Amino acid sequence: MTISEKLHAIGRPLLQAQLDHPTVAGIARGDLPEPVFRSWLEQDYLFLLDYVRVFARLAWQAPDAHLGDLVDLAHSTYHDELSLHRSMSAEFGADLEGAVKGPACAAYTGFLLESAASYGEGLAALYPCMWGYSNLGRILAENPPAEPRYRAWVDTYADPGFAALAARIGQMIDEAAPDPRRAQALFAEGMAHELAFWDVPR
């Protein structure tokens, strides 16, 4: 079993906890109260700004074979995913410029930026976000919400292109070959941060 396969085995039951979370369940039904999603959008916008910095820090350390992947991920996150957030945030009236990190966002971004000091460990730490959202999108798309804005959100993360990016990170982890126990610990910690992130500030 590869390192990434071991991470998947750890992640599956932790993913179910996210699916059961009231925020995710509300998105799945399409009836999540707008103020909750507005707050989530503001927090995730701030998260993604630091996620770009994590990719950039890892790119600086990357072997030649991985450099392009990380530069591309930083670019697409900054230009494409953040652009999506701006357009969706406008529909919900989110205040991205005035947003302030809540405790969960600050803890998660701090964890990622610190973990990115080590290349292989940094990849394992960030993997829960890409792997988790790819799987959330895939599962929620099996019975998507009728509400068009929430369906658009689900469709974004159910996209096969996003799944391919997540799979590439898994391959890069295996090629980087971090200490398996350390990788598993960081992955589990990242999954815990993912769950906590759904408890958006009110």
Specify the CATH number for the domain of residue 174. 1.20.910.10
| Amino acid at position 39, single letter | S
pLDDT tens column, 5-57: 999 999 999 999 999 999 999 999 999 999 999 999 999 999 999 999 999 99
For residue 51 the two structure tokens come to: 């996620």
For residue 190 the two structure tokens come to: 């990242």
The pLDDT value given to residue 100: 95
Name the more confident of 123 and 79.
123
Taking residues 156-167, what's their average pLDDT?
Answer: 92
The pLDDT value given to residue 201: 78
Classify residue 117 by its DSSP letter.
T
Count of the separate structural domains present in the chain: 1
Does residue 202 carry a pLDDT above 80? no
Closest CA to 40 of 87, 85, 74, 98: 85
pLDDT tens column, 55-114: 999 999 999 999 999 999 999 889 888 888 899 999 999 999 999 999 999 999 999 999
The pLDDT value given to residue 140: 97
The pLDDT value given to residue 85: 85
The pLDDT value given to residue 76: 87
The pLDDT value given to residue 70: 94
The pLDDT value given to residue 53: 95
Q: Which domain covers residue 66, as residue numbers?
A: 3-198
The pLDDT value given to residue 200: 87
pLDDT tens column, 26-36: 999 999 999 99
The pLDDT value given to residue 163: 92
DSSP for 159-179, written as a single string? -HHHHHHHHHHHHHHHHH---
Q: Are 102 and 200 in contact (CB under 8 A)?
A: yes
Closest CA to 170 of 134, 116, 117: 134
